Structure 1
């Protein structure tokens, strides 16, 4: 017998307690009680998982590119911290792309969004004019994924 209560159309558990809601919905799915599932919110949550993975990968590319730009355009300020950040972001990218291989098909779109932000971040952090940095990403996907690549 289930511990999951029947879903009332006026039930606002999703808004009141997301954890309890998710436990209930998982229980209903396991029991194949499909007619009782809060379908609209289940769909929304499933879609949000994909968006979260996309955003996480974009964030890793953004930080990686920002640090590669700083490495390239402020060579005199290079530090172990920058190297560590570059290595960490490449590890994150590798892991995220292994966990969700279909994200690799989105790489170009992700890089376009990540570069636009990384370029601004690099300008803000270095104090260099935005025009210092190319308008499009100067690094290939292969270079970004290459653990040994550092722009000179």
Structure 2
């Protein structure tokens, strides 16, 4: 743990917690410093990296929801005899997850095409592995436009 001392706006001194040694304590300390306005005492580089990481995490959530959704759409289209309510429920749930992520982070709306293209690569491989259908059977690029992904009706 780092032993250097920092001075807050109020003049109090406190030992700085090392980012690599105790992340939780470091995060709580950084939050306190921000609230106190002790910006000169912030671990700016690591705080910036963590904020960027939060943004990447939101994109990852979007891509993950699309991956599961697209995998179930592929299964639905390529195994009509095995369609179940469970698949239908998963499609509904993943659509809701996509909507929730976009609601929480509206700027990701402009990255939906990127997210679906990336998600489809994994969905295709997972659909092949789960169904036993050869990978080559599934289109190499995403065959579903965004409106179909989110609005297509699925009935048993």
Query: Structure 1-normalised TM-score?
Result: 0.89
Identify the residue that residue 57 of structure 2 maps to in structure 1: 52
Query: Is 1:68–1:86's contact at 8 Å kept on the other side of the alignment?
Result: yes
Give 1:2-13 correspondences, 5 Å limit: 5-7=14-16, 11-12=17-18
Q: Post-superposition shift, 1:145?
A: 1.5
The one-character-per-residue Cα deviations of 1:28-57 (angstroms, maximum 9, x if unpaired) are 011111110011110110010011101111
Identify the residue that residue 104 of structure 1 maps to in structure 2: 109
Q: Post-superposition shift, 1:22?
A: 1.1
Distance in 2, Cα, partners of 1:127 & 1:48: 36
Identify the residue that residue 71 of structure 1 maps to in structure 2: 76
Structure ranking higher on relative contact order (CA contacts 8 Å, 6+ apart)? 1
Is the alpha carbon distance of 1:130 and 1:2 closer, same or farther for their aligned partners in structure 2, counting shifts above 3 Å? farther
Give 1:65-144 correspondences, 5 Å limit: 65-144=70-149
Q: Which runs of 5+ in 1 are unaligned?
A: none
Count how many residue pairs are aligned between Structure 1 and Structure 2: 147
Query: Is 1:4–1:27's contact at 8 Å kept on the other side of the alignment?
Result: no
RMSD: 2.0
Q: Post-superposition shift, 1:143?
A: 1.2
Q: Post-superposition shift, 1:150?
A: 3.4
Q: Post-superposition shift, 1:149?
A: 2.6
The one-character-per-residue Cα deviations of 1:1-46 (angstroms, maximum 9, x if unpaired) are 6988353xxx52x222222111110110111111100111101100
Which of residues 30, 42, 47 in structure 2 aligns to 1:42?
Answer: 47
Q: Which runs of 5+ in 2 are unaligned?
A: 1-9
Identify the residue that residue 19 of structure 1 maps to in structure 2: 24
Q: Post-superposition shift, 1:73?
A: 0.2
Query: Is 2:120–2:141's contact at 8 Å kept on the other side of the alignment?
Result: yes
Is the alpha carbon distance of 1:3 and 1:124 closer, same or farther for their aligned partners in structure 2, counting shifts above 3 Å? farther
Q: Post-superposition shift, 1:86?
A: 0.6
